Chain A
Amino acid sequence: MIPDEGNEELRIGVYVCHCGSNIAGVIDPTVVAEYATTLPGVVRAINTPYACADSGQNLIKEDIEKYDLNRVVVSACSVRMHEPTFRAAVSEAGLNPFLMEMANIREQCTWAHGHEPEAALEKAKDLTAAAIAKAAFLTPLDMITVPVTKRAMVIGGGVSGISAALDLGDQGIETILVEKEPTIGGVMAQLNKTFPTMDCSI
């Protein structure tokens, strides 16, 4: 089942976050963790008050060693929020960061179904189970590194663009400041004095 390193046994750890009352105020994370315990491949499932806090991350890291985990599922918030956090955490514990999968039981569950806690709980279970299903087939991956052209472009020569270009320039970065009008300055250049200092805009 696990394509890497021969056919080692699947050992998934599942961490169900309370996120204070953001998740736990609607559903009981311990129920989700207990449910996960019964699912194939799961050797450890536990709730944690804040998975992203040091305590939560340390729990995951310690468990990776203690339970010899080779996959981690974090049922918590959006991947847009904390995927980098948990990838870094499992990586510090020696697990490839791409062997971590998240289930979004906050933004896409408790926050969206606050008035239907029972249905939200069932959804949280399903989302966690789906993350376990995906986790079982995750493979270790390495980030792709690309070279960086040390030059910048700022599009728009108003006050914000000028500020950005000057700061980049002062950092020693060659910067192209592009403005579609014949002069830079934008709306700011049209203004008389500016608040709250009442100084000249240009």
Chain B
Amino acid sequence: MVDAARHPKVDVRTYTEVERVEGFVGNFQVQLREKSRRVLADRCNGCGECAQVCPIEVPNCFEMYLAPRKAIYVPMSQSVPLIYTVDETACIHCYKCVEACGKLDAIDFDLQDRVTWEDVGAIITATGFSHFDPSVIPEYGYGRFPNIITAMEMERLNNSAGPTAGDLIRPSDGKHPKSLAIINCVGSRDTRFNPWCSNFCCMYAIKNALLVQQHYPDTEITIYYMDIRTPSKGYEEFYARARELGIRFTQGRPSLITEDPETHNLFVHSEDRDLGQVTEREYDMVMLNQAAVAQPDVDTVSSLLNITQSPGGWFMEYHPKLRPMDSPTDGVFLAGACQGQKDIPSSVAQGSAAAARAGRVLHSDEWEIEPVVAVVWEDRCIGAQGKKCGICSRACPYGAIEYEPGKPAQVITAKCHGCGGCVAECPHNAITQMHFTDAQILAQIRALLARNPEEKILAFRCHWCSYGGADMAGTSHFEYSPNERGLRVMCSARMDSDFIYEAFRLGAGAVLFSGCHSQDCHYITGQPVGERRAERLLGQFEKAGMTPGRFRIEWISAAEGDRYAEVINEMQAVLDSIPREQLLEEIERLRPEMEKRARRMREAPQVDEALEFADRLAEAMLVVEPS
């Protein structure tokens, strides 16, 4: 901690939050709000005289609310930086602190938040994790029985810098416990709460048992566990040492904790698999080893940085094996427990690894980005003919399209991120997206629907989320209907109405329109552009009498492989529920309307050629089919 504060190249900004992130790899602009401490950082010397005179005491969250702090405070004596902060929610503005500060004059109640913009080339997200609140498990009685504490409370109670100076005492009577039960997997590996293993708690239980035993050798300590997981270097040896030193390990998940109201001693009811029977043992104190959970503000950070979440709110890495430190956003990296529950050695290692990944960008003079940008076909743009339009400019989340009546719209290439929203929104087919042109996509649609289209589920997926979700389904071997035929574009905003009309015109059995959840969208507001269009299409199809479920809109993240498989299987069930003759009749009945609605699709460049080629391709595909 001190090293970071002392490092000449590291600028530590505490009490500061990220409010906005703009830009792209190599060129991010980040808005920071440094909250006012009401104390001047360059004048406060951390002497603490202000806190001594402050008359207000509130529970200190750093001490897990086991000790008070003043309304002007530092969270702990080793705070970095050692600068006091006024807690405005507690302060009564008596200004005794100002008096005590005297000539130093470091306290200024007029000090305001400071908002700055910082230019950076890369961002590492290391926002950590939070702890599960065990009071929601009724059978354990946390919050009702005073001598049940959490692991984090234990950390403070047996810490020499903590509220009891390292004395482990029972909250009910201040006495040392003679017996202690530690219960593992509290909120972890429990499908009612969190399915995951929280990774570090087994070792953490053993550590706390050993520390308590070291301090109070006569304490009887039992660890209740489901499995002991010690897969890292030196961990199994650590576990063996604890057993040698007399820590008792009982395999079983306690089902109930009761209390003697007189003594406040606790009775832990649990199976003991060694004995093969249910036991009820009495303890002076119980520690609940609570699960690691995602930070409560994870959604905010997710949408600021366009990072998808895995189930449970952990940040999703670009690839679980090959790019575990990279987020899906180029130039944004992940480190530590925000990516998944992990212990200190792994968090430190990930921090270094993320720094190395970021270093690849930061040590380069230039960085290459994919040229999948939008291009305006100026002679088609009606802006050039003096007509009012500007739809493209309004659809762009990045302000990358300049529109002025009388001139064709202009794409500022450096600002374009390549979502393709403007391309699909342009009613005059005057914009295309490089590498995802109408011609290319329409040719793909024809090929995918060349054979028995009525049996097919054509799935449009965005690159970042639902294509990743389909990959995840495969990686996890979640099986789904093989009648699915997937097509990838960068963002759901690119999914042109014409593509959907064309798919149904060609006789597709069903069409899926899928992309990121709104907060995960890689292009700020690309997904809402896609969603509005998809909803409009859904309304049109309903009105036209299409069987519900043949056109479906779903937002599926890269982590939701199970969801992808489920959606496709549900769509298959819809198709299976329609008698074939009826489906073919419906396709024929709707074909003229689809044809009419898609009539302008041929206006886009090269579409005629692409369709001609795709028809030849389809013909060849059909020739070889009988086998």
Contacts and interface: CB of A to CB of B under 8 A. Distances in A.
Q: Do A and B come from one complex?
A: yes
A130 B317 CA distance: 29
A98 interface: yes
B525 interface: no
B255 interface: no
B136 interface: no
Q: Is the interface of A mostly helix, strand, loop or mixed?
A: mixed
A147 B225 CA distance: 53
Contacts of A165: 4, 7, 10, 124, 351, 355
Nearest to A112: B474
Interface-centre pick from A134, A139, A167 (highest chain B CB count, 10 A): A134
A175 B624 contact: no
Given A129-B450, A148-B364, A181-B75, A195 B238 contact: yes
A145 B482 contact: no
B63 to A, nearest CB: 8
A185 B5 CA distance: 11
A152 B17 contact: no
Contact of B75 (A78, A177, A182): A182
Interface string A185-199: 111111111111010
A175 B124 CA distance: 10
B225 to A, nearest CB: 15
Contacts of B7: 165-166, 169-170
Interface in A151-202: 151-196, 198, 201-202
Given A126-B448, A159-B344, A184-B80, A179 B14 contact: yes
Nearest to A31: B627
Contacts of B152: 190
A7 B504 CA distance: 32
B359 A119 contact: no
A175 B17 CA distance: 16
A80 B364 CA distance: 23
B30 A153 contact: yes
Interface in B116-155: 118-129, 152, 155
Nearest to B413: A144
A127 interface: yes
Interface residues of B, number: 142
A108 B162 CA distance: 54
A21 B463 CA distance: 26
Contacts of B83: 182
Determine which residue in B12, B125, B437 has the highest number of CB atoms from chain A within 10 A of its CB, and name it.
B12
Interface string A112-144: 111110011011011101111110111101111
A92 interface: no
B488 interface: yes
B391 interface: no
B369 A148 contact: no
B621 A39 contact: yes
B95 to A, nearest CB: 20
Nearest to B8: A169
A146 B124 contact: no
B373 A146 contact: no
Contacts of B128: 156, 158, 160-161, 186-187
A144 B369 CA distance: 5
B439 interface: yes
Contacts of A190: 62, 64, 152, 155-156
A70 interface: no
B471 A78 contact: yes
A157 B443 contact: no
B440 A143 contact: no
B370 interface: yes
B473 interface: yes
Contacts of B322: 81
A115 B343 CA distance: 39
A38 interface: yes
A123 B3 CA distance: 57
A130 B485 contact: yes
B124 A155 contact: yes
Interface string B183-204: 0000000000000000000011
B68 to A, nearest CB: 16
Nearest to A194: B344
Contact of B79 (A120, A180, A183, A194): A183
B162 to A, nearest CB: 8
Contacts of A153: 28, 30, 118, 120, 122-124
B120 A176 contact: yes
A168 B155 CA distance: 31
Interface string B226-242: 00000000110110000
Nearest to A152: B122
B446 interface: yes
Which of A125, A176, A198: most chain B Cβ within 10 A?
A176
B470 interface: yes
Contacts of B482: 109, 112-113, 116, 119-120, 122-123
Contact of B485 (A127, A163, A184): A127
24 contacts: A38-B623, A79-B467, A112-B478, A112-B565, A119-B483, A129-B621, A137-B610, A138-B435, A144-B368, A145-B367, A146-B414, A148-B27, A148-B121, A148-B367, A155-B125, A158-B126, A158-B337, A159-B348, A161-B351, A163-B347, A166-B4, A168-B359, A182-B75, A193-B207
Q: Which 3 A-B pairs have the closest CB atoms?
A: A160-B336, A163-B351, A161-B126
Interface of B: 1, 3-5, 7-18, 24-28, 30, 32, 37, 62, 64, 74-76, 78-81, 83, 85, 118-129, 152, 155-156, 158-159, 162, 203-204, 206-208, 210-211, 234-235, 237-238, 301, 318-319, 322, 335-338, 343-344, 347-348, 350-352, 354-356, 358-359, 361-371, 373, 413-414, 434-435, 437, 439-441, 443-444, 446-448, 450-451, 463, 467-468, 470-471, 473-475, 477-480, 482-488, 565, 606, 609-610, 613-614, 616-617, 620-621, 623-624
